[in-house]
Every structure is written in C-alpha cells, then in structure tokens.
C-alpha cells in the first residue's frame, strides 16, 4: 500500500475539521479560554478552604454560656450531621466537626490550634481573639439578650460586699466562661477565697447556693432569678457580646469569602440553637475590653476545684 504523502495527511485533517482550520491559531486560543471558563470557572472561584491537616477541623460549642446541663449537647445527631454537610459544601473540603460540652476542653483545643474554625460562646470568643490564639471573628452567634455577670449570695447571707468574701466559699463555672469564670475572678481580684467549687452550669450553681455548699456564686443576670431570695453583691458593667464563628489565622489570610457566602446562604438550615446571623460581623469594639480581661485572668494562677485560692495577678493595661 503506498504511503500517504505529508501533504495528503494535512489535507485529510483539514477535511475532517474545516471550521477549526478556518479559525486559525488565534481563534483556537480564544475558544480554549472560553471552554476553560465554562468548565473550570467554579473551581477557580471556589478553592477548597482546608486546614493544614488537609481537612477542615471545626469546633462546636453551645453559644449560650452555662444555660443548660453541660454534660449534654443541645444539638441532635441529625443537626450535627446536617451542619457538617453544610460546612463541607461551603468549604469544598472534608470536615471534622467536633461538638464539645466542656468550655475548659474547648479552650485547650483553641490554645493548641487544633481547630481551623469554631462556633463559640462569648468567653471562648474573647479567648480565641487574643494575639496568642490568632483567630478572627466572622459571624455573630446566639440569641438576643442583655447579659451581665454578677456575684449572688442568699438574701439572708451575712456578706454585704465583695470585700466580705475573704475566706468565703465561691462557686464558679469552668474556665472558658465569660460570665461564670473570667469576669467574676477579675472582679474578685485581691481576695483570698476559702474555697472555689466548680459547677457545669448556672442551674447547678444555684443548687449549690440553695443547699449551703457555697456562700456565693457567679451568675448571669439575663437568666430568670433563682427560686430562692438572693442578693447581688456586685454586677459587672461590661456589656457582654454574643458568641461568634471564628476562623484560624492561616485561613483568615486565605480566600474565605466564598466559604462565608455559602454559609450565609445556608443559615436557615443550621441548628436554631447556634443563632447564626448571616452577614452580621461581631462588634470588635465590644470585644476589646473583654479580650484584655481574659488575657489578664489567663496570666494568673488558676483556682483548683475544692481548694482555697488567692485571686491575684497583673491586670492587662495597668
């Protein structure tokens, strides 16, 4: 069989692709760009938002501090799985969602940078925004309520002021709570407490006070008043912000806006308890003084459950 000449081969291809032949090199280049934009445009605008591990590690804490039994999560299994699916779709990355009931354990996770993002209550938000932790706030979480931290005693108590609590037994929430730990300790600075006892939530603190196990407790004034007559020895004047969705420093430097846009669009599908506020940024001005308070208390010696404790240390800014 005679071999085809080079000219015959080229003519054969021209016959099969007449339109491409007429376009020329420049036309093919334009066509290539158009096809690329159609097939790959989404991938350019939706780069996966993954952490250093190759997955997106997300912490989930009830944004309402100390309002329910901390041994139980306020999220149903299907809500947790639904949220994980939403996060996967928004980030285009495999998501490891870790719900925790303990603010103390969550604080350790944030300190060790084991989460790339987290849904946090106010106290842990302030902790996460410290320079050492390096997280950035993206969206407001939680319901609308006016929260204030106070110290309560029974109405019949002999204690009349904070100064009287030297040697007293005081009940607190675990480390990580703003109204139940950081602010009460900050306001009791300089006192030598006879004993510090921890409870997992405010209802448990109320029970301890009712039963005479402690002389005073930390309290959140946004809650209904206790069932027994009480008095407030002091109320903190700081406005308590809501919780926040935070993002690690490395991911905050990446293009996270498509991720955030997709979460905003899916906010109605999130668990209602989270209180995700689409398009609403946390108020940085409100958070600044609370960050300083958390920074101060974190630098002090920490109280141990059932032990005496002297509340002493340097206050940031002083």
209 and 121 housed in the same domain? no
Residue 27 lies in a domain: no
pLDDT given for residue 291 in this prediction: 92
Show the beta-strand stretches assigned E in 213-255: 216-220, 230-235, 243-247
Residue 172 lies in a domain: yes
209 and 247 housed in the same domain? no
The confidence band for 222, taking pLDDT boundaries of 50, 70 and 90, is: confident
Alpha-carbon span 313 to 318, nearest angstrom = 11
Nearest to 83 by CA among 221, 231, 227, 272: 272
Task: Answer yes or no: is pLDDT of 269 > 70.
Answer: yes
83 and 117 housed in the same domain? yes
State residue 131 phi and psi, 5-degree precision: -60, -35
Q: Quote the pTM value.
A: 0.82
Alpha-carbon span 274 to 142, nearest angstrom = 6
The confidence band for 143, taking pLDDT boundaries of 50, 70 and 90, is: confident
Q: Is the dihedral of CA 79, 259, 281, 315 positive or negative?
A: positive
Alpha-carbon span 225 to 308, nearest angstrom = 28
Whichever domain contains 211, its CATH number is 3.40.190.10
Residue 4 lies in a domain: no
3-state secondary structure (DSSP) of residue 7: helix
């Amino acid at each position: 069989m005679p071999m085809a000449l080079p000219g015959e081969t080229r003519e054969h291809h021209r016959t099969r692709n007449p339109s491409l032949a007429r376009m020329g090199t420049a036309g093919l280049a334009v066509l290539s760009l158009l096809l690329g934009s159609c097939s790959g445009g989404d991938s350019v605008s939706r780069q996966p938002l993954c952490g250093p591990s190759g997955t997106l590690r997300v912490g989930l804490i009830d944004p309402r501090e100390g309002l329910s039994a901390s041994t139980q999560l306020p999220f149903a299994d299907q809500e947790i799985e639904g949220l994980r699916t939403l996060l996967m779709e928004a980030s285009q990355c495999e998501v490891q969602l870790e719900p925790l009931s303990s603010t103390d354990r969550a604080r350790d996770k944030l300190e060790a940078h084991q989460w790339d993002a987290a849904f946090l209550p106010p106290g842990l938000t302030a902790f996460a925004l410290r320079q050492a932790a390096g997280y950035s706030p993206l969206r407001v979480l939680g319901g609308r309520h006016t929260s204030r931290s106070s110290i309560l005693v029974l109405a019949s108590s002999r204690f009349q002021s904070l100064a009287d609590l030297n040697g007293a037994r005081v009940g607190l929430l675990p480390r990580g709570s703003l109204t139940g730990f950081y602010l009460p300790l900050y306001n009791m600075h300089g006192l030598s407490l006879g004993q510090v006892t921890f409870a997992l939530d405010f209802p448990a603190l109320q029970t301890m006070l009712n039963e005479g196990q402690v002389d005073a407790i930390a309290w959140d004034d946004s809650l209904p008043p206790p069932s027994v007559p009480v008095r407030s020895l002091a109320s903190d004047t700081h406005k308590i912000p809501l919780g926040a969705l935070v993002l690690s420093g490395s991911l905050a430097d990446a293009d996270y806006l498509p991720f955030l846009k997709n979460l905003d669009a899916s906010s109605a599908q999130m668990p209602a308890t989270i209180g995700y506020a689409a398009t609403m940024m946390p108020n940085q001005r409100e958070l600044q003084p609370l960050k300083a308070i958390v920074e101060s208390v974190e630098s002090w010696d920490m109280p141990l459950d059932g032990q005496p404790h002297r509340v002493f240390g340097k206050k940031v800014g002083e």
